[in-house]
Chains A and B, each alone.
Chain A
Amino acid sequence: MNAPPPPLAPTGRSQTAGDLLEVSMGPHHPSTHGVFRMNVVLDGETVVKLTPVFGYLHRNHEKIAEKNSYLGSIPYTDRLDYICSMTNNWAYVLSVEKLAGIAVPERAEYIRVIVGEMTRLFNHACLAGFLLQDMGALGTPLMYAFREREKILDLFEALSGSRMMCNYMRFGGCRCDLPEGWPEKAARIGAGFESFLDEFEALLTGNEILRARSEGVGVLPRELAVNAGVTGPGLRASGVNYDIRKVDKYGIYDRFKFRVPLGERGDVFDRYMVRILEMRESLMILNQALHDLPDGAIIDPKVRLRNLRPKAGEAYGRIESPKGELGFYLISDGGPIPYRYRVRPPSLINLTVLEDMCMGHTIADVVIILGSIDIVLGEVDR
């Protein structure tokens, strides 16, 4: 009597039962961008199941913030998405301003836009570098991106005293004014970034290896992206026109002229390309903001940084951080510390569609699909 035929694997190839291989990738793996682990079930080289495991970098961010004053949480927000501390500060102070009804002087709003767009510039450049690193372009694109990032970090150090943990924004404005000659230096570095982008695109966008590795890989369908709550470049690469800078017009974003780049297919290449195009739009915003930068106060002198006691109530402030919608939900009971403090981290929510994007692709593609989501584990685990 003949044995029954072996079951078909999802890939369509015949497969003898029982030789699926489960691989634990991470938590210390160069391609997982931090302490992140994926349990991948492989059929040959093809992924049939993927479970993300995270929490290795959990450090009680939300609970600590519920024990600290409103001011004391600002340096902790630097450490959420430790690449983009400025936008984290911004999202948090925006929520507190909403909660306490604090107005922000014009100059401070402009400075926030300038540093926020600079953050987006180097975050996207570094992400492209890391993505190429995952594809096997060891070093070169990443080093070029880091070279440009260093210039912006030097500006941040001159401004706030620290390169990455800026702790710069305060409710009602910013901590200190721009140093002498800072806007001119920023304009020069912005112009240099423009030529760097041309160079970066010549190096990468037409590259056949990049296209072969990324086109048609990790497709995120539009409906799934919307239903899963994906935000940021990942959502726009799937063709959904949703940018909080346009939707909410928080701060003074209604004053700037910029476009929102959209992808068509939602694959890894689109996610890469949307980021490159977004950098060009960021440069446009940066130039407009530096051009219109008004004089005046940088912080409302009436605002109390210490012992801020907002009226009892709740507020949710959100911004378009380089990774997506970064929101802070705060509840005040009238006391000096928040009753509830909750972060809506874009990295974590974008990560939830990882399995859907990876199904049926090879393990080598999983690495670049994860890279194209742009996660930072400081924010995923909090």
Chain B
Amino acid sequence: MLGLGILKGFMETGRNFCGSYYDPERLTTVQYPEERLEPQANARTIPFLIYDGSDPIGGLRCTACTICEQECPAHCIEIVKDTAKKPDYLGKMQLHPKVFDIDTAVCMECGICAEVCPFDSIKMDQVFERAGSHRRLTLHKDDLSKSNEYYNKIHPAEAAAVDAARAEEQKKAQARKAAAAVPATP
């Protein structure tokens, strides 16, 4: 019969309409500014730099090795090395970045910088409400620097693994140092 298909279709629409009052599967809208979903543990937006301790600039893990600068597909990272060296968490002397800029207008949030960083220094953030009335789209070292506690809060599992690996390395380095300090027996 002509029109039967349309009637069947209307029945489906009716079922969806009624279902949207009690079935969460059929009404998935989230009223965004009032209601918010928890971000997923893996979610990523722009990169940020991690610092240890309480000094957001002095405690930066970044050693200005420029691997992220070279690997960034959009070439949005700019690093200028500082000439002075500082000891890192293993006691090795390392360079530090004098300038670390990320042009967030260009950054495509792919996460390759975090993937290639050998010092676990650059990680992906989860902030997404970055609109503002200013035109400051290039973020500098002090904008990017965030604490390790913050990293632990947004990516708990990943951060715990990183912290464990770093503690292990630190222990090994201390053991090596202690072994070197003990004078060899004659």
Residues in chain A within 8 A of chain B (CB atoms): 68-69, 71-76, 78-79, 140, 144, 147, 150-151, 154, 157-162, 165, 167, 175-176, 179, 192, 199, 202-211, 305-306
Contact = CB atoms under 8 A, between A and B. Distances in A.
Nearest to B4: A206
Contacts of A211: 5
B9 A204 contact: yes
B42 interface: yes
B30 to A, nearest CB: 10
7 contacts: A76-B73, A162-B109, A165-B110, A175-B115, A179-B41, A202-B11, A305-B115
A147 B28 contact: yes
Given A71-B71, A161-B111, A305-B116, A176 B12 contact: no
Interface string B1-43: 0111110110111011000000001101000000000001111
B44 interface: yes
B127 to A, nearest CB: 14
Contacts of B42: 157-161, 176, 179
B4 A72 contact: no
B4 A75 contact: no
A76 B74 CA distance: 9
Contact of B12 (A78, A79, A161, A202): A202
Q: What interface size band does chain B fall in?
A: 20 to 34
Most buried by A among B4, B6, B11, B112: B112
B108 interface: yes
A202 B8 contact: yes
Interface of B: 2-6, 8-9, 11-13, 15-16, 25-26, 28, 40-44, 67, 71-73, 108-112, 115-116, 124
A2 B89 CA distance: 101
Given A165-B108, A209-B6, A158 B40 contact: yes
Contacts of B3: 208
A75 B112 contact: yes
Contacts of A206: 4-5, 8-9
B73 A207 contact: no
A79 to B, nearest CB: 8
Contacts of B15: 199
A68 B73 contact: yes
A47 to B, nearest CB: 28
A358 B8 CA distance: 31
A203 B6 CA distance: 8
Contacts of B4: 206
A144 to B, nearest CB: 7
Contacts of A205: 5
B20 to A, nearest CB: 10
B5 A306 contact: no
A315 to B, nearest CB: 21
Nearest to B158: A176
B67 A306 contact: yes
Contacts of B108: 75, 79, 165
A294 B111 CA distance: 27
Smallest CB-CB A-B distances: 5 pairs? A206-B5, A75-B110, A72-B73, A161-B44, A161-B42
B13 to A, nearest CB: 6
B66 to A, nearest CB: 13
A144 B16 contact: yes
